[in-house]
Chains A and B, each alone.
Chain A
Amino acid sequence: MFDFSVLVDAWRMFLDGLLMTIFLTIVGCSIGTIIGASCAWGSVYGSRWLKLLINIYVEVFRNTPFIVQLFFIFFGLASINLRMGAVAASIFALAINLGAYACEICRAGILATPKGQYEAASSLSLNRFQIFMYVVIPPALARVWPALVSQLIIMLLATSVCSQVSTEELFYVANLISSQTFRSFESLGFVTLLYLLLAMAFRQILFWFGPAFIFGKVKF
């Protein structure tokens, strides 16, 4: 009943799709996390207007579906002459969507910083930027790392939606192969398994990567 040989024949396309998915995830997540951390900074220390603006951004992107955001960016912005390619639009959508969630997550971490830390840092005559970068952010990220990792995994899975604007990632390839060979269950099942393995590997890597490179081995 099942015939997996079609998958072997198309290994090259699956590999390309897999690489594209990994590429989208890494670039989208990196930019998104930076947007999130910056917005978190703004929403904790910024002026009233900046706080309001960031709050609106966060609520709008957290309360609308990713696919609609993607369509709005890819089709909607193109219609007012802000054209970008499918991959660029996908990365843009992923980053800006993650930014909203990461902002909420990082904010919780920053707000939990003990007052003594600020006082200690300013008594070392660090300026505001230095305090944020070296004193506030590392332990804040360490505090919320599990939540952030979950969100990044959700982003990895959300890259599949980018196939809807013809970004040639894993799901796009699976769909293409399934409609070319009519072996839908095999190709989709195989790619589902790939996503599952990818998500598990990504989680492991992030739990190693965070302490190793971002916030050091801080214990709480």
Chain B
Amino acid sequence: MTTFTDWDVIRNLIYSLPWTLGLSLIAFVGGGILGAILLLARLSGNKYVVMLIKGYVQVFQGTPVLMQLFLVYFGIALFGIQTSPLLAATVCYSLYASAFFTEIWHGSVKSIPRGQWEASSSLALTFFQQLRYIIFPVAIRISLPPTIGFMVQIIKNTSLASVIGFVELTRTGQMITNITYEPFFVYGVVSLFYFSICFPISVVGKKLENKYRFIQ
């Protein structure tokens, strides 16, 4: 039987960091792309599409992430596809993030005065030109702080993927605890790791919020 020194604990937790960061990145990119598509669909203004997307957002905001993970995990299996925790987590977090991103971005687009839309359409700009040259340059600045704030949420929520057996920081912490019986130390270190990832991002988010406050 081998013994675990404190350094072994920390080293193994460091090895699991890429999985937490990787999953967060996948969720951020996947959710961002899907969220942008949903945003465009919602802005195009078809009544049924808007209703559908509102329902989609409501479902993801009104149910626990844990529940969504399990549903995706077992749901994919229903179609006869072999599910791995990685696949389920990727799909679930991308969908989850997309729902929040559309909501955040839609809010920032909506906060731009109607006059800007009207002025730009009186200049005979097409819908996409309006977005590209008039709406998005401002909307992106408004939406930047909450988007970064949500990034912290994603990183924290990837910890729930441990429950479906995705081996990231939290799961590794659990496994090490099962060997060393030192939950106080191990979960303390795990918390410290999460904190040192999330805190700088939070600070940047807050800085940007103060910087762009003048726009609203």
Contact = CB atoms under 8 A, between A and B. Distances in A.
A199 B61 CA distance: 9
Contact of A199 (B63, B157, B159): B63
Interface residues on A, range: 35 or more
Nearest to B70: A188
Contacts, number: 115
Nearest to B183: A75
A204 to B, nearest CB: 12
B104 to A, nearest CB: 13
Contacts of A192: 63, 67-68, 71
B188 A76 contact: yes
A207 B163 CA distance: 33
Q: Is the interface of B mostly helix, strand, loop or mixed?
A: helix
B160 A161 contact: yes
Contacts of A113: none
B43 to A, nearest CB: 23
Contacts of B191: 60, 64, 68-69, 72
B187 A72 contact: yes
B35 interface: no
Nearest to A185: B74
Contacts of A191: 67
Given A63-B194, A65-B159, A72-B187, A196 B202 contact: no
Q: Is the interface of A mostly helix, strand, loop or mixed?
A: helix
Interface of A: 59-60, 62-69, 71-72, 75-80, 153, 157-161, 163-164, 171, 174-175, 178, 184-185, 188-189, 191-192, 195-196, 199-200
A177 B83 CA distance: 21
Contacts of B67: 160, 171, 174, 188, 191-192, 195
Interface stretch (B84-92, B126-134, B137-145, B169-177): B169-177
A192 B178 CA distance: 31
Nearest to B65: A157
B77 to A, nearest CB: 8
A76 B156 CA distance: 19
Contacts of A195: 62-64, 67
Contacts of B63: 157, 192, 195-196, 199
Interface in B165-206: 170, 173-174, 177, 181-184, 186-188, 190-191, 194-195, 198-199, 202
Contact of A64 (B59, B160, B163, B198): B198
Contacts of A62: 152, 202
B183 A78 contact: yes
B183 A189 contact: no
Given A64-B194, A66-B156, A79-B183, 8 more contacts: A67-B159, A72-B187, A76-B184, A76-B186, A157-B62, A160-B67, A171-B64, A185-B71
B66 interface: yes
B34 to A, nearest CB: 20
Given A67-B162, A68-B191, A158 B64 contact: yes
A182 to B, nearest CB: 10
Contacts of B64: 157-161, 171, 195
B18 interface: no
Contacts of B174: 71
B75 interface: yes
Contacts of A196: 58-59, 62-63
10 contacts: A63-B198, A64-B191, A64-B194, A72-B187, A75-B183, A75-B187, A163-B66, A191-B67, A192-B68, A195-B64
B182 A188 contact: no
A188 B74 contact: yes
A153 B61 CA distance: 9
A122 B163 CA distance: 54
Nearest to A163: B66
Contacts of B1: none
Nearest to B74: A184
A174 B69 CA distance: 13
